[in-house]
Amino acid sequence: MRLAAITLMALLVAAGGSGCRKSGQKTVNVIGSTSIQPFAEMLAEEFNGRNPDFKVEVQGGGSTAGLQAVEDSLAQIGMCSRSLNKEEEQKFSPTVIARDGLAMVVHPTNKVSGLSRPQIKDIFAGK
């Protein structure tokens, strides 16, 4: 958590900001992934409290919307919770702030046990 906060703060300072809310206050727009949004809002609140010269504004909209917002200069930081495709890798410089985990759970009455990762992958791939 602390590393992610430091990373986001460094990104915010590097983004510089645009527009003004108060005299001399720089706005940094962060747009994108709704799964990252609550975490980014919490970090933005902490950052805003410690850095009165900045106002970080966080909006959702999805990973693709975040990338598009950066490309269209509507945001200085785009939140993306998926892998970038080849074209996006050429346009953007990602910074990983967190990774998520998935757990497969089954009902206790299910007799299946001990599935391997490839078997689970095949199930979700529809094989």
At 69 the pLDDT is 96
Query: With a threshold of 0.75, does the pTM exceed it?
Result: no
Q: Is the pLDDT of residue 1 over 50?
A: no
* Residue 85: inside a domain: yes
| pLDDT 10s digits, 34-58 | 999 999 999 999 999 999 998 999 9
Computed over its alpha carbons, how large is the radius of gyration of the chain? 19
pLDDT value, residue 102:
77
In a domain, 123, yes or no: no
Within-domain flag for 126: no
**CATH number, domain containing residue 18:** 3.40.190.10
Residues 6+ apart with CB under 8 A from 95: 7, 11
- Domain extent, residue 46, equals 2-100
Helices (H), the chain: 2-15, 37-50, 63-71, 86-91, 117-124
Q: How high is the pLDDT of residue 8?
A: 54
Average pLDDT over residues 67-93: 94
- The answer on pLDDT for 20 being more than 80 is no
Q: How many domains, the chain?
A: 1
Residue count of the chain, please give it.
127
Within a domain: 115? no
Task: Answer whether residue 96 is part of any domain.
Answer: yes
pLDDT band at residue 97 using 50, 70 and 90 as cut-offs: confident
Domain assignment of residue 38, yes or no: yes
Residue 105 forms part of a structural domain: no
Q: Is residue 7 part of a domain?
A: yes
